[in-house]
Structure 1
Amino acid sequence: MSASRPTILDVASRAGVSKSLVSLALSGSPKVSEKSRLRIERAAQDLGYRLNAAARSLAIQKSRTLGVLVLDLHNPVFAEILDGVQTEVRQHGFSTMLVSGGEDPTLEHRQINTLQEFQIEGLILISHRLSADVLKAVAREIPTVTVTRDDIPISRMDMVCNDDISGARLAVDHLASLGHERIVCLSGGDNPVSHARARGYSEGMEDHALAHYSTIVSGGLTDSAGYRAAQEALQGDPTALFVVNDIAAMGAIAAVEEAGLSVPEDISVIGYDGIRLAGLRSINLTTVAQPLAELGRLAATRMLERLDQPQRPAQHDQVASRVVVRGTTGPPPAHPRSSAS
C-alpha cells in the first residue's frame, strides 16, 4: 500500500471486484448483494478509504443530501421530530445537513441559501418563521416539506402537522372529565401553532358549557414564559392550567409550587407535545402527546415521494394526538381557595 491516499481502484483491487461495483456498494445501492457489500466495506476500512461525496455528486448530478432547517435547536420537540426524519432518510441512502435560524426569518433564509449552495436535493422545514412570499420563492427553487406548520399552503409543497385544535380540545375534555371548570389556558405567544391550540381550548370550553370561565393568558414556549404566565393566571384562582407546550408547563408548575400550592391537589397542570422529558419520574407531566417521531418519518416519506414525482399535487397530512395521563392532573380541590367564579 502506497503512502498516498487510497483510491476507489485500490478498494476494487483489494476486494476483487470492479470499480463500478465499489461505487454502488459504498453509495448504499440495493443492487449490490450483502456478501459483496460486506467484502467491499471491509476492503475500504482496511485501506482507510472514504467515498468522495463531492466528486460523486458532480459525477451523478445528485448529492443524496437533504437540507433540514430546525426552528430552535434547544426545543426537544424539534429534536425528536428530527430523529424521525433522519431514521427514515438514512434507510433510503440519503444524508442530512442541519441548520437553524434561531427564530430569525432573515437568518433562516440565509441558512437555506447556504444549504442550496451544497446542492441539497430537498428541504425539510421543522417549523420556521419565513414569510409567505419567501417560503413560496424557496419552494419554487427546491422540493420543500414543512413540519408542524400548515398555515401557508403552496402548490407542490407538502405539509405535515399535528391537529392542534383537536389536541387542545382533548386537554379540556380531560380536565372537564375530572370536574374542573375554572380552566385557564397559558398560550404560547404569537405563532400559528399556539394560536391553533388556544382556539382548540376555547372550542373545548364551549363544548363543556364553560365558555364563561374561559381565560387565555399570553405566555410563550419557554419555561420562564410559562412561569410568568402562571403567576398571572394564579391571580384568578383557577383549578387547572392548560399550557400549550410541555416546557412552558414545567415553568408553570414551578410558579404554582412557589405560590405555596400543590400539583395536582390544588391546581392541575396539563402540557402539550409529549416530549420524552415530560415522562421522567421527577416531572411526571400529564400531556397531550403528539407522535413526534411519526411526524418526522412522514415528512421524510413525503420528501422522498416528491423527489420521485416533482409535479404531483401538494399533500397535507395531519396526525392525531392523545392524552397521556400522569401525576399532574386530578380532581379539583373540594374547598376552592376563594369564592371567585
Structure 2
Amino acid sequence: MAARAGVSKSLVSLVMRAEPGASAETRRRVQEAADQLGYQPDSRARLLRSGRTRLLGVVFGIQHTFHADLVTELYAAARETGFELALSAVTPGRDEPEAINGLLQDRCEALLMVAPRSPVAALARLAARLPVVVLARGVRDAAVDVVRNADADGMHLAVDHLVRLGHSRIAHIDGGRAAGAADRRRGYRDAMGWNGLAASVRIVPGGLTEEDGAAAARALLDDLPTAVAVFNDRCATGVLDVLTRARVEVPAEISVIGYDDDRLARLSHLDLTTVAQDTAAMARLAVGRAIERAEGSPVGRRELVAPPRLVVRGTTGPCVSR
C-alpha cells in the first residue's frame, strides 16, 4: 500500500490509525490506495494488542428453532455496543464442552449460553475463568448470571386460557430434563390446582423434539384429554402430526398449546397457539449483563426474568364434550 500511495510505511500507519502527522493530500492518496487494494483494517488484531477482543461468545443448539430466534435477537442487541458475537454451535456430532472450548480459544470476554445442558458445577467452574450469562435456564450459583423467562407463569397462562375455553381434562406433555421443564411442570400443577382441577393433573413424559411430542401424543390416543399444554413448540409440532394422522380434529376434538412462539408456531399451516418468550428483551438483558461483567461494572440482581405472554392462534378452541 505504501508503494502504491508513494509514501512511507510509517505515514500509512498514521493514516490507518487516524492519528495526526499526515497531510490531507497524503491521507487522500493512502485512502485511495487502500480502496484500490480492497484493504480492510484488522480491528481484531489491534484489540488483541491492547489485551481486548470485544468478543461475546454464544453457545447454542443448532437444531433448536428457538435458539436460532434468540441468536438473531442477540445480534440486534449487540449491534450498537462495540462488541461482536462469536458463535459456537452444539450439534449431534459436537457437544457443549467442545463448543465452549472453541470460544475460549477465541479469547472471548464473556460467554452467552442458550439453555445449556452442562451441570451447575461445570458452569460455575467456567464462570471462574470469565463472565458467563445463561439464557433460558435457571442456575442456582451466584457466580453465574441468568436471563430467563418466567416459565411457571407462562404455563399458568396456558392452563388459564384452556380453562376459560371450558376445558377441565388438560394434560401436560413435559420437557423431561430440559432447561425450563421443571418450572413449566410446576406452573402446570399450580395452575390446575388454582383452577380447582388438582385431581385431573396428568403429566405425560415428553421432551424437546418432534419425535418426543409424537411419542407422547401416541400415548394419549387411547384416553384423549380435551386439551394439552406442551413443553415447547417443536414438541407440539410432533403432537399435531400424530393427531392429524389419527384423524383427530384440532381444535374441535382437542386443543393444543405450545411454548416459545418460535418460527414453527408462526407457520400458517400450523397456526399454533403458544406462550411467547420475549426474545428481544432477553437478548438485550443478556448482552447488557455480559458487557457489564466484561467491563467490570457493578451489577444488581444476578437473575433477570422476562415475563411471558399468551399468543392465541388456531389450535385452541372451546371444549366440546365427548
- TM-score, length basis structure 2: 0.88
Superposition map of 1:202-217 within 5 A? 202-217=189-204
What residue is the counterpart of 2:119 in the other structure?
Answer: 131
- Deviates most, 324-333 or 185-194: 185-194
Q: Tell me which of 294, 301, 312 is aligned to 1:307.
A: 294
Superposition map of 1:82-101 within 5 A? 82-101=71-90
1:283 partner SS: coil
Q: CA deviation at 1:314?
A: 5.2
Superposition map of 1:70-89 within 5 A? 70=60, 72-89=61-78
Alpha carbons 2:292, 2:298 under 8 Å: kept? no
Alpha carbons 2:117, 2:179 under 8 Å: kept? no
Deviations 1:166-208 (A, max 9, x none): 0001000000000000001011122341111111111110011
Alpha carbons 2:142, 2:302 under 8 Å: kept? no
What residue is the counterpart of 2:186 in the other structure?
Answer: 199
What residue is the counterpart of 1:274 in the other structure?
Answer: 261
Superposition map of 1:280-299 within 5 A? 280-299=267-286
Match for 1:268: what amino acid? S
Alpha carbons 2:120, 2:139 under 8 Å: kept? no
**Separation (CA, whole Å) in 2 of partners of 1:77 and 1:11:** 50
1:87 partner SS: helix
What residue is the counterpart of 1:60 in the other structure?
Answer: 50
Q: CA deviation at 1:237?
A: 2.3
Q: Percent identity?
A: 36
Alpha carbons 2:274, 2:311 under 8 Å: kept? yes
How large is the Cα RMSD of the aligned pairs?
2.8
Match for 1:272: what amino acid? Y
Superposition map of 1:256-275 within 5 A? 256-275=243-262
Report whether the alignment pairs 1:160 with 2:129.
no
Alpha carbons 2:257, 2:315 under 8 Å: kept? yes
Deviations 1:14-53 (A, max 9, x none): 9xx733227xxxxxxxxxxxxxxxx998874443112224
**Separation (CA, whole Å) in 2 of partners of 1:99 and 1:315:** 24
Distance 1:117 1:266, change over 3 A: same
What residue is the counterpart of 1:321 in the other structure?
Answer: 308
**Separation (CA, whole Å) in 1 of partners of 2:214 and 2:10:** 59
Q: CA deviation at 1:60?
A: 1.3
Deviations 1:286-332 (A, max 9, x none): 00111122212221111112222356455211111111111100011
Distance 1:214 1:56, change over 3 A: same
2:18 partner SS: helix
Q: Tell me which of 120, 138, 150 is aligned to 2:138.
A: 150
Report whether the alignment pairs 1:235 with 2:232.
no
**Separation (CA, whole Å) in 1 of partners of 2:9 and 2:42:** 14
Q: Tell me which of 98, 103, 106 is aligned to 1:110.
A: 98
Distance 1:310 1:111, change over 3 A: farther
- TM-score, length basis structure 1: 0.83
